[in-house]
Amino acid sequence: MSEISLQTAQRLVTLLSGAMKGMTFYPARHPAIMQPLQEIMDAAEKVLRSQPEIRLGVIDGVFFIEDHLFFTPTTSIEELAGRLMEKEFSGIIIRRGVKLHDLTLFVSLLGRNNLNAAQIEKEMVEQGVTGISLKIVADEGSEKTEEGDRESGALQTYSQALAAIRDVFKDIESGRIPSSEKIVAVVQNMAAMAIRDPAILMSLSMIKDYDNYTFNHSVNVGVISMALGAFLGHEGKEIEGVGMAGFLHDIGKTRVDKSILNKPGKLSATEFEEMKKHTESGTDIINKMTGISPQVAQAVLGHHLGFNRQGYPEWAREMPLSPMSEIVAVADCYDAVTTLRVYRRPLNPKAALDEIRKLSGSYLNGNLVDKFVEMMGNYPVGTLVRLDNNEIAVVFRPNRENSDAPIVKVVLDAAGRRLGDPRVQGLELQGGSCYASIVDVVDPSLKNIDVASYLNS
């Protein structure tokens, strides 16, 4: 994994995008171009001291730099991603030893409308550029496995879900009744995926985008709810319903004052009263939307009532609780405890399950918690583990037959070196022997490892 910070990654894209746009107004040596290019060089050289190359590009419409995926891009990221896709680039590799000349030429070629990626590559080779190389869409895909295709399809659906949720929130904020078309399509897609392979869906829920917590949390709760719904054996339509309820469960927060929503730490009694209204406001919003079933509104109303009915809204405590509400409540708690908030460190998936178990039978339905724990296995997807051969690996897929021996991706070798190309390894080998055993769960922040990047790429 890369040492590049999110801040540096964002800065690099903004500069690159700015320089590319500038090329259409100014000659290449103009200070308005040279200054961002020099800044990119400085930042890149710093990163390239500790790693041989920096990879950036677009995968399934999502812009990335190294392990950072930009699901909710800024305008400059969108512009750059759009330009790369239009020219059919899939990636750019900046290598140690890159020169200002390489970068200037690349950006000026990128800014020209009449050149595609293959022509840009040819021109760069002819001009002796060695510090930057390009990946072209047509180069790829041939070696893709079916599994890889499915994963990238899942990733694409995830980013569509984020976009759909963002639109719903935006509509409400600008006083419109949100349209449900996009979100219905996404839910249908994901429900089908949940039935095929709930583990892929669960691995998507490891994507944490701290800058866009509300959208990210909404999508994750939908994703986890659908995986659990499928694991419980529900039918397609029911899974779609529970997914929709998950996506929209906190939609009422659009009507809660931002200063309360973003307040770090404990809310005052009055602030909490305000926050509690989000279940009713959510129901109210959903009832006005077309194409969303009343059960979804009902599930949203009840997602904080609690199995023991000690939650809110108080007036609804005597009402029958929808099974959908209970599934969403489990998903909501699980995503909350695995996510970093301003005031709390995130828990790894295994510790998060212990936390969820504590709520079993009180706030959460005990049977559902048992099923959820069973679905997740002893080492849930996304857990970072130490093996008895000293390698560090991310749990990649569960092993239904033997929950202690999942399929992992080895990310650090026994000497603690990062593997450039993490290896997929089943811990259980054919004939009953095993590759290695898990000895411990490791905190990803101690190893500076972004587990989600290994699960979805």
Chain positions contacting Fe ion, by CB under 5 A: 250, 332
- Angle formed at CA 386 by CA 383 and CA 387, multiple of 5 degrees: 120
Residue 434: strand, helix, or coil = strand
| Longest pairwise C-alpha distance within the chain | 76
Of the pair 162, 449, the CB lying nearest Fe ion is at: 162
Least spacing, CB of residue 346 vs Fe ion, in Å = 15
Q: List strands edge to edge, sheet with 438-441.
A: 418-426, 407-412, 392-397, 384-387, 438-441
Of the pair 180, 339, the CB lying nearest Fe ion is at: 339
Least spacing, CB of residue 119 vs Fe ion, in Å = 49
Least spacing, CB of residue 319 vs Fe ion, in Å = 17
Of the pair 73, 246, the CB lying nearest Fe ion is at: 246
Of the pair 58, 347, the CB lying nearest Fe ion is at: 347
Strand 53-59 and strand 62-65: the pairing is antiparallel
d(CA 324, CA 331): 11
Least spacing, CB of residue 330 vs Fe ion, in Å = 12
The residues, any chain, with a CB within 8 Å of residue 93's CB and separated by 6 or more, are 53, 54, 55, 132, 133, 134, 135
Nearest to 203 by CA among 350, 352, 397: 397
Of the pair 21, 217, the CB lying nearest Fe ion is at: 217
Least spacing, CB of residue 226 vs Fe ion, in Å = 15
Of the pair 102, 332, the CB lying nearest Fe ion is at: 332
Of the pair 161, 384, the CB lying nearest Fe ion is at: 161
Contacts 24+ apart (CB under 8 A), 340-347: 340/208, 340/210, 341/213, 341/264, 342/264, 342/265, 343/264, 343/265, 345/445, 346/208
d(CA 325, CA 323): 5
Of the pair 83, 166, the CB lying nearest Fe ion is at: 166
d(CA 121, CA 129): 9
Determine the straight-line distance between the first and last CA of the chain, rounded to whole angstroms: 12
Least spacing, CB of residue 221 vs Fe ion, in Å = 6
Place of tokens 């077309």: 290
Least spacing, CB of residue 456 vs Fe ion, in Å = 22
Least spacing, CB of residue 332 vs Fe ion, in Å = 4
d(CA 47, CA 410): 24
Place of tokens 């990879």: 55
